[in-house]
Amino acid sequence: MTKTLYVRIICTFLIIISVSLVSAFLIGMTLFKNEIDTVGQNDMITVGEDIIQLYEQTKPVDRESFLKSAVNISAHPIHMYDASGNVTVYRIDNDNTTYANISRDAVQQVLLGQYYRSPGGAKQTFIGLPFLLEGKQHAMFLQFSSENEQIINRLMLIILLLGLLIGSLCILGAATYLVKPLQALTIATKRLAKGDFDVKVKMKSADEIGVLTQGFNEMAIELKQLEQMRQDFVTNVSHEIQTPLTSISGFAIALKNSHLVAENKRNYYLDIIISESRRLSRLSDNLLKLASLDLDNHPFETSTFNLVEQIRQVIVTCEPQWSAKGIRIILDSIDEANIKADIDQLNQVWINLLGNSIKFTPDDGHIEIGINHLEDRICVTIVDSGIGISKEQIAYVFDRFYKTDPSRNRNISGNGLGLAIVKRIVALHHGDIEIKSELNEGTTVVVRLPIQ
């Protein structure tokens, strides 16, 4: 229980209030002690003068009774010194006040007709007044009563306790107000840890806890999206692996039973097995490449090279694909476009992009490649006369395993990872990529890369 934030807040505030009140009391007493003593001495001097004046007016016969009555009325013990230094003390019954230590010099000073005040820092506070009693000079000292001091101390103690009690009740309410949203966050966090990503914490305040709650809700939404992406990824990978495996397994079983396959079909089935095996190999390579690109420590070796020459070499490398379909490749570029980047990664970008254009461009179509400077960037534009992409699908073309038309891909190899790899490589080079397309009107891909 003591480990909960609720209890810790209450205990912390109680300790702070207690220490603050006690410290304030002690500091106040220290700072104002002299002032309090002075006020008390002035009051006792006034009382003493009233006693002397009353005595002179009434001329009582029994001075002992008069002085005892004066003590009971004033609540101040009286020390009466005669000219010889003998002292008589008058005090209230059951008063445990410790006698003041009055020096002979103080007594002599009062006997000479002067007033006396106890010095600052003395244990007891008292004053002395000359008193002509029965025609003889006496020194009357009034001492501050411990009863009065105890009343003041009790008053201060009650004030401190009341302050502590009221403060504790306020802290109890404040702690409940502060901890309640944190408790809601704790419950929501536990639900989130168990896989419930639909959790949402309601919070109306705009303070730090409100900001924390908003951040938690945003995190829950992002985790839900990540979980959905993970499930889609697993589903897509399973599908992409299962399809070629089914073909490989089926044809392998058929080949094993010679009576099920005619001799002239054996090579055809073997070609299918080889093709599906290569498809699995490409899928594995692409998955490994994406996983490597997602790592912060992915190898990134930059060098300065001519981008125009690199794209020319890619066009030559892909010549078997585009020449077989009778596609014309048009390269419209500046003479040189020197760039500092990772050669192998950018080479993969152009191979994937050009491969997609060739794949989805019909026979006797054309592909135009433009390279030019754009301020501090190099802009590469690839325009094809292919089948195009609908506007609704363009937003998803960079998603992993996304295929614009799955039924069409029966005759076109691909696993939906090529553009995901392209976008990741471009992002690693602090560039951007944009695709514009319409159905049956071709596709335009624009890649912008910083020169340095």
DSSP structural state of residue 143? E
Q: Which one, of 331, 371, 350, lies nearest residue 429 by Cα?
A: 350
Distances (CA, A) of 264 to 23, 122, 249, 257: 103, 125, 20, 14
Which pLDDT belongs to residue 159? 75
Q: Which one, of 183, 62, 197, lies nearest residue 133 by Cα?
A: 62
Looking up residue 84, the CATH number of its domain turns out to be: 3.30.450.20
Residues 311 and 254 in one domain: no
Residues 308 and 430 in one domain: yes
Greatest mean pLDDT among 84-93, 144-153, 158-167, 376-385 lies in 376-385
In the block, tokens 């009563």 appear at 145
Q: What tokens were used for 92?
A: 């209230």
Residues 409 and 274 in one domain: no
- Please indicate, yes or no, if residue 170 is contained in any of the structural domains: no
The SS3 assignment for 401 reads coil
- Please indicate, yes or no, if residue 175 is contained in any of the structural domains: no
Question: The domain containing residue 96 runs over which residues?
Answer: 5-150
Characterize the bridge pairing of strands 126-133 and 116-117. antiparallel
Residues 371 and 272 in one domain: no
Residues 286 and 314 in one domain: no
Angle (nearest 5°) at CA 99 between 137 and 60: 40
| 208-256 helix and 266-294 helix, angle to the nearest 10 degrees | 160
- Please indicate, yes or no, if residue 358 is contained in any of the structural domains: yes
Determine the residue type at 350: W
Give the alpha-carbon dihedral of 197, 198, 201, 202, to 10 degrees: 160
Q: Which one, of 71, 325, 22, 280, lies nearest residue 14 by Cα?
A: 22
Residues 245 and 337 in one domain: no
Q: Please give the full DSSP string across 327-388, using - where no structure is assigned.
A: -EEEEEE-S--EEEE-HHHHHHHHHHHHHHHHHHSPTT-EEEEEEEEETTEEEEEEEE-S--
The SS3 assignment for 447 reads strand
Q: Please give the full DSSP string across 79-140, using - where no structure is assigned.
A: EEE-TT--EEEE--TT--PPPP---HHHHHHHHTT--EEPPTT-SS-EEEEEEEETTEEEEE
Please give the Cα distance from 272 to 373 (Å, whole number): 46
Number of domains making up the chain: 3
Looking up residue 283, the CATH number of its domain turns out to be: 1.10.287.130
Helical ranges in 257-342 per DSSP H: 266-294, 307-317, 319-324
Last residue of a domain, one of 275, 292, 309: 292
- The mean pLDDT of 315-326, rounded to a whole number, is 88
- Please indicate, yes or no, if residue 176 is contained in any of the structural domains: no
Last residue of a domain, one of 292, 322, 348: 292
Greatest mean pLDDT among 10-19, 47-56, 118-127 lies in 47-56
- The mean pLDDT of 114-129, rounded to a whole number, is 83
Please give the Cα distance from 336 to 308 (Å, whole number): 6
Residues 46 and 129 in one domain: yes
Is the pLDDT higher at 342 or at 207?
A: 342
Q: What is the pLDDT of residues 347-367, one digit of tens each?
A: 888 988 998 899 889 999 999
Query: What is the H or E stretch that residue 303 is in?
Result: strand 303-306
Q: Is the pLDDT of residue 380 over 60?
A: yes
- Please indicate, yes or no, if residue 12 is contained in any of the structural domains: yes
Query: Using only C-alpha atoms, what is the Rg of the chain?
Result: 50
Looking up residue 382, the CATH number of its domain turns out to be: 3.30.565.10
Asked if 374 contacts 448 with a C-beta cutoff of 8 angstroms, the reply is yes
Residues 213 and 320 in one domain: no
The SS3 assignment for 415 reads coil
Q: Kindly report the pTM of this predicted structure.
A: 0.49
- Please indicate, yes or no, if residue 167 is contained in any of the structural domains: no
Residues 423 and 441 in one domain: yes
Residues 256 and 140 in one domain: no
Residues 278 and 317 in one domain: no
- Please indicate, yes or no, if residue 157 is contained in any of the structural domains: no
Last residue of a domain, one of 265, 292, 319: 292
Is the pLDDT higher at 41 or at 17?
A: 41
Residues 79 and 124 in one domain: yes
187, β-bridge pairs = none
Q: What is the pLDDT of residues 230-264, one digit of tens each?
A: 776 676 667 667 777 887 888 788 777 767 667 77
Q: Is the pLDDT of residue 410 over 50?
A: no
**Confidence band of 68 (pLDDT split at 50, 70, 90):** confident
Query: What is the H or E stretch that residue 46 is in?
Result: helix 5-58
- Please indicate, yes or no, if residue 86 is contained in any of the structural domains: yes
